[in-house]
Chains A and B, each alone.
Chain A
């Protein structure tokens, strides 16, 4: 089966435990992280992760759990299938 990949992006004020909390959600849902990169620019934390969601029938559950973390830490977390970025930014 073709691998289904999604991009998780996280933006917000830098603080302790961001990566831990976000990856905990992924681990709880048995989602493998394929790639990860993060930068901190003037206290502003940005991270993106490429994850394998081949096993996920719906992204609803993830959306809900990420929303919870978002509120807890005051971050913006998005998860979107990778194809949308390929379509918009690659010819």
Chain B
């Protein structure tokens, strides 16, 4: 036998003690051929296509999970950005389509379906405007439908008119779900430089460059990285990077194997592996705790950015070695509500909103799952989105904003979102207005970085 017992033990320990898991197997489905001038026909076609393509997704994933002994936590679906098939549909019909997607997700037994989306980073078309107008209601009346809106890219600049609308949409969606702490906003991501093959929610959609159907896999394992580092308390930072890299390599290989098996059994091409350290509220499954293990008393203190940059880069390097097709966001996620370490950082006054913003410069996404005071203005939300978009645009990376202005809540209160979404301390925002900037509208031109031809 050419596998040593210690190696078998290591794999089993990673799964059973250190929360190694495949976070998501996401099936991307192209819905373009469902477009129809008759809305009822389109609505039915969308439902039929999703439920037939993904009919075996859950069962196949569960079988692979048992055979390989590695849990697959979520089975999900991403679809063609819905705005691209809406055509002349009305706002009410767009909401109806969201309900259809919700119904399809429930029938298939999957927790989220992503792609109630629009790419408006340069301009807003008629059907995209319909989707934006429908968005607050669509998010409020559905449970499992996720939306992402692209408002900026490095190549196009920032569409500030769309950014202004998004601030209002977020406020509106929060207000419509005020009985559930504004939960609708947890299903909406505002992107700069979105990726077309991201398997993680809420930002997953099946991009224009993708094929008919595809399986993308997201692997996670902050707990595994944390425990690996705990075994080397005195290593220097070069060694720390190396440990993270090696751990990321192993995790990615496990994910790629299972992803390929699932794809083959479903007779769908394997797309990409997204190796992202995505925390959960489970004990020790925290990205913040890795940063603290590297040497911070609390996440958010001086040195946080340096530690995060080291970790994010090492994760990418390990992942890139392990898989031929690394894609998605691949890096570290820093959602606040889903990470016990982040929550503690905020409660202990170590971690602030400006620091979180700065962290998004060196991690794989952006401001994620942050609860804000209910009285924050739409213009301030828009300005927050604009700041993140600017960071992404200039640094040629994906950034995102997923914030929840919790109606009626004040700074310091704790709100529960339930399940995977966790809980978060409400954060205050800068009290000074950004109204004028947002009212100006127009586009922020593409930066010099875009002129690379």
The verdict on A28 contacting chain B, using a C-beta distance below 8 Å, is no
**Which of under 10, 10 to 19, 20 to 34, or 35 or more describes the interface residues of B?**
20 to 34
A58 to B253 CA separation, bound complex (whole angstroms)? 23
Task: Compute how far the CA of A89 lies from the CA of B69 in the bound complex, rounded to whole angstroms.
Answer: 15
Knowing A84-B257, A88-B11, A89-B250, say if A7 contacts B66 (CB, 8 Å): no
Q: How far is the CB of B146 from chain A (nearest CB, A)?
A: 30
Q: How far is the CB of B243 from chain A (nearest CB, A)?
A: 16
Q: Which residues in A have their C-beta under 8 angstroms from that of B69?
A: 78-80, 84
CB pair A83 B8 closer than 8 Å: no
- Do B1 and A86 touch across chains, with their CB atoms under 8 A apart? no
A43 at the interface (CB under 8 A from B): no
Tell me, yes or no, whether B254 is within 8 Å of chain A by CB.
yes
1/0 contact trace for A69-90 toward B, CB 8 Å?
0000000001111111111111
A55 near B: Cβ within 8 Å? no
Q: Does B68 contact A (CB under 8 A)?
A: yes
State A7–B11 Cα separation when bound (angstroms): 12
**Choice from B8, B67, B256, B258 contacting A85 with Cβ under 8 Å:** B8
CB–CB A50/B257 < 8 A: no
Cβ of A59 within 8 Å of any chain B Cβ, yes or no, is yes
Given known A-B contacts A78-B12, A87-B253, A46 and B5 have beta carbons under 8 A apart: yes
Cβ distance A18 to chain B, nearest Cβ, rounded Å: 16
Question: Does any Cβ of B come within 8 Å of A3's Cβ?
Answer: no
Q: Is B67 within 8 A of A87, CB to CB?
A: no
Contact: B1 with A35, CB < 8 Å? yes
Within 8 A of A (CB), among B1-46: 1-5, 7-12
* B1 and A48 contact, CB distance less than 8 A: yes
**Interface majority SS (helix, strand, loop, mixed), chain B:** helix
In this assembly, does B244 line the interface, its C-beta being within 8 Å of a C-beta of chain A? no
Q: What total of chain A residues lie within 8 Å of the partner, measured CB to CB? A: 27
B12 touches A9 (CB 8 A): yes
**Contact with B66, one of A60, A86, A87, A89 (Cβ below 8 angstroms):** A60
Chain B residue with Cβ nearest A46: B5
Q: Give complex CA distance A84, B8 in Å.
A: 9
Task: Select the residue from B66, B67, B253, B256 with max chain A CB neighbours within 10 A.
Answer: B67
- Among residues of A, the one whose C-beta sits closest to the C-beta of B321 is A91
B152 within 8 Å of A (CB atoms): no
Is A50 a contact partner of B1 (Cβ separation < 8 A)?
yes
Contact A59 B67 (CB under 8 A): yes
For A59, the chain B residues whose CB sits under 8 A away are 66-67
The answer to whether B250 and A84 touch across the interface, beta carbons within 8 angstroms, is no
Residues of B within 8 A of A50 (CB): 1
Q: Report which of A60, A84, A90 forms a contact with B11, defined as CB distance below 8 A.
A: A84
Any chain A CB within 8 A of the CB of B383?
Answer: no
Given contacts A9-B12, A35-B1, A89-B7, contact A83 B250 (CB under 8 A): no
- Docked complex Cα distance between A71 and B12 (Å): 18
Cα-based distance from A79 to B67 in the complex (angstroms): 8
- How far does the alpha carbon of A34 sit from the alpha carbon of B124 in the complex, in Å? 63
B257 adjacent to A85 (CB under 8 Å): no
Residue with the greatest number of chain B CB neighbours at <10 A, chosen from A11, A35, A88: A88
In the bound complex, residues from chain A placing their C-beta under 8 Å from that of B239 are none
Which A residues are CB-close (under 8 A) to B11? Answer: 80, 84-85, 88-89
On chain B, the residues within 8 Å of A37 by CB distance are 1, 5
Q: For B69, give the chain A residue with the smallest CB separation.
A: A80
Q: How far is the CA of A82 from the CA of B261 in the complex (A)?
A: 13
Q: CB of A30 within 8 A of chain B?
A: no
Report B38-77 CB contacts with A as 1/0, cut-off 8 Å. Answer: 0000000000000000000000000100111110000000
User: Bound complex: CA of A6 vs CA of B253, how far in Å?
Assistant: 18
State whether A87 touches B5 (Cβ < 8 A): no
B3: chain A residues at CB < 8 Å are: 7, 82, 85-86, 89-90
A33 to B80 Cα, complex, angstroms: 48
Query: Do B67 and A80 have beta carbons less than 8 Å apart?
Result: yes
Q: State the Cβ distance, B156 to closest chain A Cβ, in Å.
A: 40
Q: What is the CA–CA distance of A49 and B120 in the complex, to the nearest angstrom?
A: 56
Complex: A80 Cα to B2 Cα, angstroms: 16
Query: Could you list 24 examples of A-B contacts with CB < 8 Å?
Result: A6-B67, A7-B3, A37-B5, A39-B5, A46-B5, A48-B1, A59-B67, A63-B66, A78-B12, A78-B69, A80-B69, A81-B68, A82-B3, A83-B68, A84-B68, A84-B254, A84-B258, A85-B8, A87-B253, A88-B250, A88-B254, A89-B7, A90-B2, A90-B3
Q: Which residues of B contact A (CB under 8 A)?
A: 1-5, 7-12, 63, 66-70, 250, 253-254, 256-258
Pairs A-B, 9 closest by C-beta atoms: A80-B69, A87-B257, A89-B7, A87-B253, A84-B68, A85-B3, A88-B250, A35-B1, A81-B67
